[in-house]
Amino acid sequence: MFRRLNRNTLLAFTGLLAGIVGLLVQWAADPAKFSEAQGFFGLAFPPGILFIVLAGLLMLATARWWWHSVFGVFIAFWIVGVGGLSGQLTPNLVSSNPGTVTGNVVMSAGLILAFGAGIASMIGGRRATRARELR
């Protein structure tokens, strides 16, 4: 199955995985911060993990189409882009807790990678589809 996925798609999956690792680091550094998330399915861990996993599963489920990476691009934009613009991400990047800062840097870097690689994957996939259609 993974042999069909192009390099950019694999990089997008790597970025999503790094995003999850970053969230796990944040959780380990300050578990009390995520106790507020208990209302989310009654779980006391970062709900962003579920969203990233769902995006990755949707990417896998739609891997036969050129646009499959849109799910990784969307979740990366939502967490880093919208989180940054709304002021949700910045306090964690300047926290006094080094684990929180490290986790946020890892998460953000991974999701930025997923965003860029996902865009590149869609562009490459669309070009390949067009080339096949023109033959």
pTM as predicted: 0.89
Residues 97-123 have pLDDT tens digits of 999 999 999 999 999 999 999 999 999
Q: What is the mean pLDDT of residues 55-65?
A: 95
Q: Is the pLDDT of residue 43 over 90?
A: no
Going by pLDDT thresholds of 50, 70 and 90, the confidence category of residue 52 is: very high
Residue 56 CA to residue 62 CA, distance in Å, equals: 10
**DSSP codes, 56-67:** HHHHHHTTTSTT
Residue 84 CA to residue 93 CA, distance in Å, equals: 10
Of the candidate ranges 4-13, 26-35, 36-45, 114-123, the one whose mean pLDDT is the lowest: 36-45
> Helix, strand or coil for residue 33?
helix
Total number of residues shown for the chain: 135
